Structure formats: C-alpha cells, structure tokens
Amino acid sequence: MYNYGMKLCNQHDLVKDSIHDLFINLWKYRSKPSRIRAIKPYQYKALRNIILKAQAQNSPSVAVEAAYHFSFDTSVETKFILRETQDGQRDKLQNALNLLTQKQREVIFLKFFDQLSYEAVAHVLGISTKATYKLVARAIAFLREKMILITALFSLLG
C-alpha cells in the first residue's frame, strides 16, 4: 500500500499519514455492517481517496485531477522483472512507459506489479471492469507498438 501511495503523490509523510488514517477508519467503523467483498481493493481505493482528498485540501486552488499525478518508476520492478535483459531493453521499456497516460500507467501498475484482479483494479479506479479490460489492453498494445518502434530505431542507429 505504501508503494502504491508513493506512486500517487510521492510525499512520504502524506502517504504514511493516509495509511494511518485508513486503518484508524477501518478500526473506528469495524462494528458497522458493510458490503465490502474484498478487502485489498477496498483498501487501495480508500487510500487513493484519502490521498486525493488530502491533496485537494492542501491545494484548494488546484483541481483534484490536476493535482493527481501517478508516477511509474520501474527502477526496482524492472530490475526484478528484466533481471537478465540488457540495460538497453530496460531503457526502452521505461521510455515506452513514460509515453503512457497517467491512467494507463496506474492500471498497469495495479494489474501487473501489485497483481490485483481486473475487478479489483476497476474498484480502485472507480471504473467498470469492462473499461479496465479495455484500458489494460490499450496500454499493452501501445507498449508493444512503442517497444517495436524503439527497437527498430535503435537497430537503425546502432
């Protein structure tokens, strides 16, 4: 959760406080009946909402969507996933990921790095499961196209 929170706002103290607030709220309202089907997606969505609300309160003149910047740093994840690949491949992937929209980077992170189900990702982002499938598919197709293009450019230059 901390890793996801840092991707949303990159403010260590805000993320820690938000996670703390999340668990305080879970404890405070534990006796109330709820319709939570799966706790992990619920926690991610709640954390996301707490962070976005805090950012909006800290900068009321900035719209919530304008303050929302999901960053995708693949340094740790890429080293694990692409351990046996060349540095060039890692750079190509990072360049391609940087070309994705913020929403696409977030959905790729949640689906493949945090290994949430499509339904859980949909719940976290507040979109339909069908929209999640489309968003993931488009992001993967875009990455595939960019990786092929980048590889072709590097082979022409090198």
Q: Which of 78, 63, 70 is nearest to 125 (CA)?
A: 70
Region 49-60 average pLDDT: 85
Report pLDDT for 57.
85
pLDDT surpassing 60 at residue 36: yes
Kindly state the DSSP code that residue 83 receives in the 8-state scheme. T
CA 20 to CA 109: how far, in whole Å? Answer: 22
Instruction: Answer for the pair 69, 44: CB distance below 8 angstroms, yes or no.
Output: no
Averaged pLDDT for residues 5-33: 89
Task: Write out pLDDT tens, residues 113-158.
Answer: 899 999 999 999 999 999 999 999 999 999 988 888 877 776 776 5
Distance, in Å, from the CA atom of 108 to the CA atom of 117, rounded to the nearest integer, reads 11
**35-42: long-range contacts, CB 8 A cutoff, minimum separation 24:** 38/119, 38/120, 38/123, 40/116, 40/120, 41/116, 41/117, 41/119, 41/120, 41/121, 41/123, 41/124, 42/123
Considering the entire predicted model, what is its pTM?
0.62
> What mean pLDDT, rounded, does the chain reach?
83
Identity (one letter) of the amino acid at 95?
Answer: N
Residues 7 and 77: their CA atoms lie apart, in Å, by 13
